[in-house]
A = this chain, B = another copy of it.
Amino acid sequence: MGMYLGLDAGGTGTRCWVADETQVLGCASIGTVKIMAVGEEVATERLKRVITEAAKKANVPLDSITRTCIGLAGNSSHAVCQWAERTIASVASGEIIILGDEEIALEAAFQGGPGMLVIAGSGSNVMGRCSDGTRVTAGGYGPMVGDEGSGGWIGIEALRAGLRARDRGVSTCVLREIEDFWELDDLGELVARANQRLRPDFSELCMVVATCADGGDALAISVLERAGEELASQVSLVISKMKALSTCKVQDFSQLAFTGNVLGKIPRVRRSMEAHLSAMMPELKFADKPVEPLEGAVWRARKG
């Protein structure tokens, strides 16, 4: 019987599943293995450890692995891919497949078939795949100059909107709650913290914004609804790019899967995105729960 490893190595964490032909036998998670963030030494140690731990929990020896599929943030860099391949090969046997972290999510949703996927977690990204395998994307340019509708975008936009509201004498829960979350004493410290040259992780703030929205704060609600609108706009861009391809069929852009904490855990964002898209494209079908990217990695490891 084949034994398989699936890995999801994103910007904030790394998770590993060990599976046989039909079920998941063990899993483990650890911090990010992004070399840019933690350095090669830590990244190498983490990647080895998360694999070893998952295998131990599954009670599967690593020299019996048939194939590994890793979804790797930063897989556009050749050096990063080589590092990942070398590191995995040093602990586990078998073939190694390296995909982007967004590609395994697409596989989780459509198992090699056509469809569209929107990811909104700390970053954001939209992909579509046609029946002939052609892929189109929109967004995904990182927290400073892209990632509209993502957790990072929500954090920054909430601060911006909160400060503008303050200039107008309108009070909002958002600035107060972010001050508490960052453990600061006043607005001066808040502004200084937000503008530190070593950029804070604004995506941490999106759950603070969601809490304010649940408490009825109009500004927080409006930021989350705008996030959904931004995501809808990226999806509709992917749809028009798919439509323009002669190889793409109508059913290829008829269903939308999603994943990531923003769409998975903040219903307001998802409802807003779906409402905007439905108004433009009444035929579009929405998935009712988020996809698990690791299912895509394991699917691909099994398939080869």
Is A88 an interface residue, CB under 8 A from the partner?
A: no
- CB neighbours of A139 from chain B (8 A): 167
Closest chain B CB from A118 CB (angstroms): 14
Is A163 an interface residue, CB under 8 A from the partner?
A: yes
Binds B, one of A195-203, A264-272, A276-284: A195-203
Mask, A131-143, CB within 8 Å of B = 1, is 0000001110111
Is A35 an interface residue, CB under 8 A from the partner?
A: no
In the complex the two chains form, what is the Cα distance from A273 to B90 in whole Å? 61
- A163-B188 contact in complex given A198-B198, A199-B199, C-beta closer than 8 Å: no
Q: Are B156 and A191 in contact (CB under 8 A)?
A: no
In the complex the two chains form, what is the Cα distance from A167 to B237 in whole Å? 8
- CB neighbours of A144 from chain B (8 A): 156, 159, 194-195, 199
Set B141, B163, B167: member contacting A145, Cβ < 8 A:
B163
Q: Are A143 and B199 in contact (CB under 8 A)?
A: no
Closest chain B CB from A189 CB (angstroms): 10
Tell me the A170-214 residues at the B interface (CB within 8 Å): 188, 191-192, 194-195, 197-199
In the complex the two chains form, what is the Cα distance from A142 to B200 in whole Å? 14
Tell me the A140-156 residues at the B interface (CB within 8 Å): 141-146, 156
Q: Are A143 and B198 in contact (CB under 8 A)?
A: no
- CB neighbours of A192 from chain B (8 A): 142
Is A160 an interface residue, CB under 8 A from the partner?
A: yes
Closest chain B CB from A184 CB (angstroms): 14
- Given A137-B167, A144-B159, A197-B199, list of 16 further CB < 8 A pairs? A37-B197, A76-B188, A141-B160, A142-B191, A142-B192, A144-B195, A144-B199, A145-B191, A145-B195, A146-B160, A146-B163, A167-B237, A168-B237, A197-B198, A198-B199, A199-B199
15 A–B contacts, CB within 8 A, in A order: A138-B167, A141-B163, A141-B191, A141-B194, A143-B195, A144-B159, A144-B195, A145-B156, A145-B159, A145-B191, A145-B194, A145-B195, A146-B191, A168-B237, A197-B199
